[in-house]
Structures are given as structure tokens and as C-alpha cells.
């Protein structure tokens, strides 16, 4: 009996913890200030924008029509980052204004209704782009410097502070991975000292999130402002770091190697 128990223990050790979560990952890239990755929605396979600030995923109407889809919704399996959702109901919308600048065909946008089913890690260190999805678990140890992750209007937001060099504003900001700029509701936005040219981008003096300070950030005023949020933090903030979101434990972390050894 003792030998049998020992054998079972050895097998358990080899198998790893019973509660270990399955993880899938995919390479991604940044195009026109947006995170893009490959996915397949039914027979429609190719490039999709990955937008953590979008509550509901969407299929590009132009691409849907090419496949004979003419209704307001399409239902099909979604395969993405090593994961498969058996049936996803995706609205069909006109994304021309968002996708027009892209050189490749954008099939749609994958939003928080999909990404929020997982613990999400977006690794943008040193020019890389990798997205990892892990089945979330309860009772995960709180990470050092973790921020409280909340959902506002069905999209994630976290606390941050922005400054135009004169005034500072704190609040809850959406996590925007589909554009470069930071958007702020009702802010006074300043230009850098060297930005005397009218074509110079409007910038914030600094953004602070999770102890990370990002300076001279391209910015815009959020119009109209989203209810309950102070603004959104675009890729100009997340570049160079690792962002982790855990929707079950309601925590988020952000780390940049150049500021946190």
C-alpha cells in the first residue's frame, strides 16, 4: 500500500498542480497604433484588431458581405491565441473609418466580451508583441503593486493620473489597445516646447500608472466623454512594458523593465 501511495504521489508531481490553468498565446504586431493579431471567426480568417477598451467584438461589414453575411449579427466559432469559443454572436458593423488606414484587410475587432473571459497578458517589451490568454483562477495571490481593475460600461478600467504640466487629473481610465494616443475628458492639453509647428501632435506632459511614469505622451480630448471614466490610455503608455489583467481577481499590473529592474 505504501508503495502504491508513493507511486501516486510521484505521478501527481509529474502532472503538476491540479488547478493549473491552461494558457494559449499568439504573436501580435502594432499597425497604425493598434494591436493586431491573427484569428478565425468561422471561415473568416486573418487579421483582427485587439481592443481591450471595446465592450463587444465586431465583424467588419465589408468583410462579412464578401462571405455572403448580410444580417446584423453573425454566429460562428472563434479561434484565437490557442483558444476556441464554440459559438460567438458577433455584431456586423461598418468599421471603415477605423480600418481605412491599414495596408492589410482587417476582418474585425476582438473586444472585452472575448478577452474578459481570460487573464490577459500583453507583452510589448523591446519591440516585441505577444498576447497570452490564461483561464482565470480564483484565489490567485495578489501581485505586488497591483491596481484595482473595474468594469465600466462592460469594459475594463484602472486608476491613473495625467498632467499637462500645469494641472494634474486622476481617475479611472480605459485600457485602449487600438490607438496610440491618450484620451482625456475635459483636459487642457499642452504641446512640447519643441512643438511650435501647428502640425506637431498635442501631448500630455506625463502619465502615471502603476508606478510607471510616461512623459510627452500624444493625446486628444475625449469627445464625447464616456460616462464614468476620465479617459483612455493608448499604446503610447503600454509600449515597452508588460500589462496583465485578471478579471476574476479584479487586479491589473503594469511593469516596464526600464523603470522596474
249 Cβ neighbours under 8 A, 6+ residues apart: 136, 138, 140, 142
Residue 211: phi, psi to the nearest 5?
Answer: 80, 0
Q: Tell me the C-alpha distance between 43 and 201, whole Å.
A: 40
Confidence band (pLDDT; 50, 70, 90) for 196? low
**Which pLDDT does position 136 carry in this prediction?**
80
Least confident of 37-51, 187-201, 210-224: 187-201
Distance CA 176, CA 253 (A): 15
**Rounded Cα gap, residues 157 and 223, in angstroms:** 18
Asked if 127 and 175 sit in the same domain, the reply is no
Which CATH number fits the domain that encloses residue 62?
2.40.70.10
pTM, two decimals, is: 0.86
Nearest to 231 by CA among 248, 217, 211: 217
User: For residue 19, is pLDDT > 50?
Assistant: no
Residue at a domain's end among 82, 107, 134: 134
Please check whether residue 3 lies inside any domain of the structure. Answer: no
Residue 252 lies in a domain: no
Asked whether residue 172 is domain-assigned, the answer is yes
Q: Is residue 4 over pLDDT 50?
A: no
Classify residue 203: in a domain, yes or no: yes
Name the percent of the chain in helix, strand, coil, to the closest 5: 15, 45, 40
Q: Are residues 192 and 169 in the same domain?
A: yes
Give the whole-angstrom CA distance, residue 25 versus residue 65.
30
- Host domain of residue 86: 23-134
In a domain, 139, yes or no: no
Same domain, 128 and 224: no
Using DSSP bridges, classify how beta strands 231-233 and 106-110 pair: parallel, antiparallel or unpaired: unpaired
In the predicted structure, residue 145 carries a pLDDT above the cut 50: yes
The Cα-based distances of 79 to 7, 26, 44, 163, 255 in angstroms read 38, 11, 10, 40, 29
In sequence order, the β-bridge partners of residue 40 are: 45, 79
- Among 75, 108, 134, the domain boundary falls at 134
Q: Look at 144 and 179; give whichever has higher pLDDT.
A: 179
Residue ending a domain, among 78, 100, 134, is 134
- Total domain count, the chain: 2
- Smallest Cα–Cα separation from 148: which of 209, 208, 207? 209
Cα–Cα distance list, 133 to 2, 23, 43, 101, 122 (Å): 40, 6, 22, 28, 9
- Residue 218 or 2, more confident: 218
Say if 140 falls within a structural domain.
Answer: no
Lowest average pLDDT, out of 4-18, 67-81, 141-155, 210-224, goes to 4-18
| 123 and 160 both lie in a single domain | no
Statement to judge: residues 37 and 101 lie in one domain: yes
State the first-to-last Cα distance of the chain, in angstroms, to the nearest integer.
Answer: 50
- Contact between 187 and 164 under an 8 Å Cβ cutoff? The reply is yes
Domain membership flag for residue 167: yes
Amino acid at each position: 500500500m505504501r508503495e502504491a501511495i508513493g507511486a501516486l504521489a510521484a505521478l501527481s508531481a509529474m502532472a503538476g498542480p491540479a488547478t493549473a490553468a491552461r494558457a494559449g498565446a499568439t504573436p501580435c504586431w502594432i499597425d497604425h497604433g493598434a494591436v493586431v493579431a491573427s484569428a478565425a471567426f468561422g471561415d473568416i480568417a486573418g487579421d483582427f484588431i485587439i481592443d481591450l477598451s471595446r465592450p463587444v467584438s465586431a465583424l467588419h461589414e465589408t468583410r462579412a458581405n464578401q462571405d455572403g453575411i448580410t444580417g446584423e449579427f453573425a454566429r460562428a466559432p472563434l479561434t484565437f491565441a490557442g483558444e476556441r469559443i464554440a459559438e460567438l454572436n458577433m455584431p456586423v458593423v461598418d468599421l471603415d473609418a477605423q480600418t481605412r488606414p491599414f495596408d492589410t484587410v482587417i476582418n474585425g475587432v476582438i473586444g472585452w466580451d472575448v478577452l474578459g473571459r481570460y487573464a490577459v497578458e500583453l507583452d510589448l517589451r523591446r519591440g516585441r508583441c505577444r498576447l497570452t490568454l490564461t483561464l482565470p483562477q480564483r484565489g490567485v495571490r495578489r501581485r505586488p503593486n497591483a491596481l484595482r481593475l473595474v468594469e465600466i460600461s462592460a469594459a475594463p478600467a484602472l486608476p491613473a493620473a495625467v498632467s499637462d504640466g500645469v494641472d494634474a487629473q486622476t481617475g479611472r481610465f480605459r485600457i485602449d489597445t487600438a490607438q496610440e494616443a491618450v484620451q482625456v475628458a475635459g483636459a487642457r492639453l499642452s504641446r512640447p516646447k519643441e512643438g511650435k509647428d501647428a502640425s506637431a501632435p498635442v501631448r500630455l506632459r506625463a502619465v502615471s500608472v502603476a508606478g510607471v511614469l510616461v512623459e510627452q505622451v500624444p493625446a486628444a480630448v475625449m469627445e464625447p466623454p464616456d460616462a464614468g471614466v476620465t479617459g483612455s490610455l493608448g499604446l503610447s503608455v503600454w509600449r515597452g512594458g508588460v500589462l496583465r489583467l485578471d478579471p476574476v481577481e479584479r487586479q491589473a499590473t503594469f511593469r516596464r523593465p526600464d523603470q522596474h529592474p
